[in-house]
Amino acid sequence: MKNSPKTLLLVEDEISIREHLSMFIERTCAFGVAPVANGKDAIAAFSEYKPQCVFLDLGLPDMHGFEVLKKIRELDPMIKVYIMTGYDDALTRQRAKDLGATAYLTKPIPFEDITAILKEE
């Protein structure tokens, strides 16, 4: 993880997406990235790095992203959590909102959208 005053926790099980997003964010958005591939590591990394925000995939190998969202919310009710998913359906979008997600992003996420989001952080 790059030394930066701000840290983003990136929870994504697909290695190519995780690597590309990490490189892009670190190079262009003035954030250090803590990249992890599963829910268990996400919760541990959240406690360790105390990030300013979280990009969270829903389809993780060890638990659903909504479980991770609930646990992160217990640790920090004010943290901004951006859900990332390849599935855009109304029920999942509503559940994310009900659980306190800041936004619901459908993959592939344009880099311009990521830049705009992180400019606000």
Question: How many CB atoms sit inside 10 A of residue 3's CB?
Answer: 6
* Confidence (pLDDT) at 14: 97
**pTM of the full structure:** 0.95
Give the separation between CA 62 and CA 101, rounded to whole angstroms.
20
| 10-residue stretch averages of pLDDT, the chain, 121 residues long | 82 97 95 97 97 97 98 97 95 96 96 94 86
Residue written as token pair 């701000």: 6
Q: What is the pLDDT of residue 5?
A: 83
How far is 10 from 22, CA to CA, in rounded Å?
A: 8
* 67 vs 16: CA distance, rounded Å: 23
Place of tokens 């998913």: 85
What is residue 111's predicted lDDT score, i.e. its pLDDT?
95
Q: 110: Cβ–Cβ under 8 A, 6 or more apart, which residues?
A: none
26: number of Cβ within 10 Å: 17
Q: What domains lie within the chain, and their CATH numbers?
A: 7-119 (3.40.50.2300)
